[in-house]
Amino acid sequence: MASRYDDWQSSKKTVLQRNAYMFDNELMSDVSFTCGESSRIFHAHKYVLATSSAMFFAMFYGNLAERESPICIPDAEEASFEEFLRFLYTDACKITAENAIVVMYLAKKYLVSSLAEKCCEILEDGIKPDNAFAVLKQAVQFDEKELEEKC
């Protein structure tokens, strides 16, 4: 009996395509997450997360490794956490002026500097008189001197 997972690898020519296929996929998932008040469960793979983040490596493979699943991320909202995870799997995500601050918070919290840099670029490009103080507040909180100066 064939399943929807039979030979999916043959149709994915690159590691990036295979990782993208595994994003939020239950197949071989060994950890799951929930966010804040959301009931949505994100399926993930410890290997992918740990190779992208020293914080996740410590969470999964350190002396005090997290054993419960799903792991609740109370300080994240669903859409931003989804984009954060998407980046860990694909090196790409949909960062907008609306979600950049929350995604940057997650990138800083989980020590994903390349994503934090992308978020800073989006925030820098989106500074306007009506949001400059909000962006400045976040720049100070995240110790982002260049972003702070642009505000």
23-60 pLDDT per residue, tens? 999 999 999 999 988 899 999 999 999 999 999 999 99
CA of residue 4 relative to chain centroid, distance: 27
Q: Which two tokens stand for residue 96?
A: 């907008």
Beta pairing class for 42-44 and 71-73: unpaired
Q: Say if residue 70 is preceded by a cis peptide, omega within 30 of 0.
A: yes
> Is the domain 14-149 a CATH 3.40.50.300 member?
no
State pTM to two decimals. Answer: 0.87
Q: Where are the domains of the chain?
A: 14-149
Inter-residue contact 73 to 34 (CB < 8 Å) = yes
90-110 pLDDT per residue, tens? 999 999 988 999 999 999 999
Inter-residue contact 35 to 78 (CB < 8 Å) = yes
